[in-house]
A and B are shown apart, each in its own frame.
Chain A
Amino acid sequence: MDILQEISRYLQSGEDKQVLALTEQALDLNLSPGRILQDGLIRGMAVVGDQFKNHEIFLPDVLLAAKAMTGAMERLKPLLIGDETPLLGKVVIGTVRGDLHDIGKNLVGIMLRGAGFDVIDLGRDVPPEKFVATAAAEKAQVVGMSALLTTTMPVMKQVVDMLRAEGLTHVRTVIGGAPVSAEYAREIGADDYGYDAGSAVEKIRQLVED
């Protein structure tokens, strides 16, 4: 079997040690880090994502695969050079100011990294200014915001407005959390809404592909 296919297969079964060892072997075979990432790891995670969506596997299986992905990524990241930046994109995430609930946001972070995104997690109780400044400094394509409280939801709109005011109109925004909805996303001008971590990853993937 092709070594990249093997990486993909072990990744799908969440076997991080094998994935890392095969990544080393692939490098020894002079395969480019970009190709290993794209045709081995990201391809494997795409299968995992589909299986999860179809209820064939459960969240722990996805997270194990994500962990294997992250381990291999750490090895590859320093080797990715110049225009060889096959990461799916850069995403800034955080729970908005006034809100300390970060379980869902953390899950989104793990799954985004696992799917092949570069993730900057600002943590919880994040002021709008910090979202905007980080997105600008890091040249992020997406800002993801989470809130669990109806009282903190309005902060999401502040971030969306502030990005626009700062001229960062190319930065896409995605929101999530129990009190928000696709309708609320539209209402505040956010680009999309993820109803769970899996859906957030998918929405972000679509936004960066557009």
Chain B
Amino acid sequence: MSAPNKSYDPVEVEALKPEVVEQARDAAFAAFAGAGSLEELKQAKVAHTGDRSPLALANREIGALPPHAKAAAGKLIGQARGAVNQALAKRQAELEAERDARVLVEEAVDVTLPYGRTPRGARHPLTTLAERIEDTFVAMGYEVAEGPEAEAEWLNFDALNLGPDHPARSMQDTFFVQAPDGSADSGVVLRTQTSPVQARTLLDREPPVYVVCPGRVYRTDELDATHTPVFRQVEGLAVDEGITFADLKGTIEQLVSKLIGDGLELRWRPSYFPFTEPSAEIDLQCFVCRGESVGNPDRPCRTCSSEGWIELGGCGVVNPRVLVACGVDPNRYSGFAFGLGLERILMNRHNVADMRDMVEGDVRFTLPFGMEI
């Protein structure tokens, strides 16, 4: 480094000549522009902005200038260095962007690769169907009641107006539990319907009672495509002052609308159940053919066997005898009850052709139903 020299003429310093500074700046510009990679740019950076770069060296000469010349030289060099740094930053950003783009392309993967690392589970559609029905009623203010599957005969039959010799009692093919003496007279059966839960509920609490009772029930049928000895029902019961058949109709219509949808006709057929009077079977218009397959051999319907209707379940106004046996005053209270077979609803709502699939536990059947239906 040169020492300050009063006799020194700045014009005479080669490195501070404007054309030389300009040259150095342009050389830097060219080097940066010519750098094809971040590595080359780094070298160019050292060469043109480092301590030994022409502009850095020129900058040093400023110190030796006479005071009157310093400002102009400083400005000259400062502007040149500023421009160089700007160009460097710009090129740096360009090259980084290029690099990033390249790396991200290199890191690209096939996101369509299947990833079965976390095994998926599912709940049984009969379970979730029962819950859906429960929820519909819970939203109306009902409660969910449950009872034992091995049940007292009195609750399964007698309390429901099915006396020992009632023809309907032999119609239901009942599993009998063996008594201690080996006979069938244990007074205990596998419940043939969820109705004993109604009786238990009425015995248990004072009206008003609004409950739904889901559960497994048993009849001595052999398993085939449309029968299973163990199946599921959801039973509903409302006992209050002034309950009528009209209330039953409104409630069932509400359920069907929530469960299956609007716009389908319901057919109310008079029927017979010992525990209700009047009794009805409820048929739902076939939602596949909407009745158009009836008497129309060219358009058969598998869902309703070309009957136009699908049986939904039975219902009616609670027989006052049931109320009496359960300690409810029939002069003050009345009620309605209904029972739905879940297997049949599932078959219809989800096009299940064979009931055995609901029973055998093949995971391929259950998995598509997921967590809720």
A complexed with B? no
Q: Taking beta carbons and an 8 Å cutoff, which residues of A are in contact with B?
A: none
